[in-house]
Structures are given as C-alpha cells and as structure tokens.
C-alpha cells in the first residue's frame, strides 16, 4: 500500500521539534543533528507503511534516530591524533565561574552511567512518559521510575557538591 504523503508530513511536523532537541543532545553539533534528522526521515518514509499506531509515531521516530546515530559510529572511523607531544592546560587555571548552569548540568548528565542518563534524556529532552520510555528501552515502567529517581539524586549530589579548594 503506498504511503500517503500528507500523513507522513503531519507526523514529521508534529515531532520535528522533539527530534531536533534529541538529535542536538546526542551529537552536540547542529549540522550533524540536521543530517541525522534527514536520515531519520528517509528511513521513516521508507517504512512508514509499517507504522500501525499513530500514537506510537514519536517513539518510533526516536528509535529510528537513536539507531541512525549509532550507525554513524559503526561506519565512521575516527581520525587519530598523536598526543605524545601535546601540552595540556593546567587544570588548576580552569575557573568554574565561567561555565553556565546549563553547561554544568549537561556535563553532569553526560557523566551519569548510561543506565540513568538514557531514561533521563528521553524524559527531559524528548518529553517521553515513563510508559513510552519503558517501551523504548525494553524495561518495566517501575524500572524506568527507579532509574529516573536515581539519576536525579545523582545529579543533585553532583551539582550540590562543594568545589574542592586548592591548598
């Protein structure tokens, strides 16, 4: 059965902002995020006829985007740089006052174990419910709730910790 372009366009328009936020969060590069979203749309178009429930479209698109992001690293061989002669800045000269709260929060979230980071990102960045996250990650709703609680507790602990003072 051929795909109805207007139905596909409606789904794309409805979740475009969510996909953009999630893609930017994953790759932290607007150009790469746009490419990732285009690949997601292409894959979604090709298999749109397999989407049976319109209510599942958001999770379906997020899953495609996540898998496409993972595929980029399967195909891509990173450029390697010899770091033997590289001089590093003294970490004592870095001033945390220069970092914005958003940057500190992003860093704290990225340092969480994947078990806690992934459900938190899906809830905060993408706006999925606990049930949708559970379906996305293939775990129970109670496991999602536990992981979200622990993720927030770890973030609170990390962000409220006093910075170590230099003697």
What are the extents of the domains in the chain?
A: 5-75, 99-160
Global pTM?
A: 0.53
Distance CA 60, CA 51 (A): 8
Tokens representing 36 are: 């990732």
Q: Are 20 and 35 in contact (CB under 8 A)?
A: no
Q: Are 3 and 49 in contact (CB under 8 A)?
A: yes
Fold match between 5-75 and 99-160? no
Tens digits of pLDDT across the chain (167 residues): 566 788 888 888 999 999 999 999 888 899 999 999 999 999 988 888 887 777 788 888 999 999 888 888 776 565 666 666 656 555 555 555 545 677 888 888 888 898 998 898 888 888 888 888 998 889 999 999 999 999 999 988 888 875 554 44
- Tell the residue number behind the tokens 């006093």, with chain if given: 162
Tokens representing 142 are: 């109670």
Distance CA 88, CA 12 (A): 45
Question: May I ask the CATH architecture of the domain 5-75?
Answer: Orthogonal Bundle (1.10)
CATH fold label, 99-160: Arc Repressor Mutant, subunit A (1.10.10)
């Amino acid at each position: 059965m051929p795909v109805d372009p207007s139905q596909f366009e409606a789904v794309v328009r409805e979740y475009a902002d969510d996909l953009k936020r999630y893609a930017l969060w994953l790759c932290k590069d607007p150009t790469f995020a746009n490419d990732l979203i285009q690949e997601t749309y292409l894959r979604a178009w090709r298999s749109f006829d397999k989407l049976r429930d319109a209510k599942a479209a958001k999770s379906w698109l997020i899953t495609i985007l996540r898998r496409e992001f993972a595929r980029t690293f399967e195909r891509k061989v990173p450029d390697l740089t010899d770091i033997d002669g590289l001089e590093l800045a003294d970490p004592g000269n870095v001033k945390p006052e220069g970092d914005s709260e958003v940057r500190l929060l992003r860093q704290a979230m990225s340092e969480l174990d994947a078990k806690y980071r992934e459900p938190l990102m899906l809830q905060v960045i993408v706006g999925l419910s606990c049930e949708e996250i559970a379906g996305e990650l293939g775990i129970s709703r109670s496991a999602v709730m536990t992981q979200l609680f622990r993720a927030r507790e770890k973030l609170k602990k990390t962000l409220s910790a006093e910075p170590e003072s230099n003697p």
